[in-house]
Amino acid sequence: MSCSSENHSFSFYSLEMHRDGQGSTQDPPAMVSRRPPTVMCYICGREYGTASITIHEKQCLAKWKFENDQLPPNARRPEPTKPQILTEAAREIQGSKADNYNLDAANEAAFQAAQSQYIPCQKCGRTFQPESISLHQKHCQGYKALKRSAKT
């Protein structure tokens, strides 16, 4: 078969594609991939899907308590508290009013809460997660390392 406006020969399927303006010279339509919304854990700072965040938070808090109990009494930290905005957001998600709640504000509050759990190094002042601080302090050169990094 041939196109009436051009002198090209096409198979039946190709002619239909050509007439519809979807010829091989055009790029296929770009697919927009959208990442599902995630919520940040207020304990560890990692991101989880809205359906699994409540399960994760229970397990994460239990893990945090276990690890905190293993620390010497002078190194133990107070239990992290869930920011108020996250409590309200959790109610809205469970009540399927998730469209109304500000995911960015909730994630920012969770990020700040997770950052508050970090422990500063006694030698250099950098902050670390509780499970990482002891390893860092074994190798930390204190302010020498900070001076060296400032020169570069």
3-state secondary structure 136-151: HHHHCCCHHHHHHHHH
Does 27 map to a domain? no
- 115 has a pLDDT exceeding 60: yes
Assess whether 85 and 108 both reside in one domain.
Answer: yes
Query: pLDDT grade, residue 11 (50/70/90)?
Result: low
Among 113, 61, 60, smallest CA distance to 84 is for 113
- 100 has a pLDDT exceeding 50: no
Q: Tell me the range of 5-14, 98-107, 131-140 where mean pLDDT is highest.
A: 131-140
pLDDT at residue 66, as a whole number: 93
Assess whether 42 and 108 both reside in one domain.
Answer: yes
Does 18 map to a domain? no
Question: 8: which 2 tokens?
Answer: 């090209």
Assess whether 53 and 74 both reside in one domain.
Answer: yes
**Which strand (E) or helix (H) includes residue 9?**
none
Domain that holds residue 123: 118-152
- 102 has a pLDDT exceeding 80: no
Does 142 map to a domain? yes
Q: Tell me the range of 8-17, 32-41, 71-80 where mean pLDDT is highest.
A: 71-80
**pTM of this structure:** 0.57
Number of domains present in the structure of the chain: 2
**Long-range pairs for 32-37 at CB < 8 Å and ≥24 separation?**
37/103
Q: Residue 132, Cα to own-chain centre: how many angstroms?
A: 20
Does 31 map to a domain? no
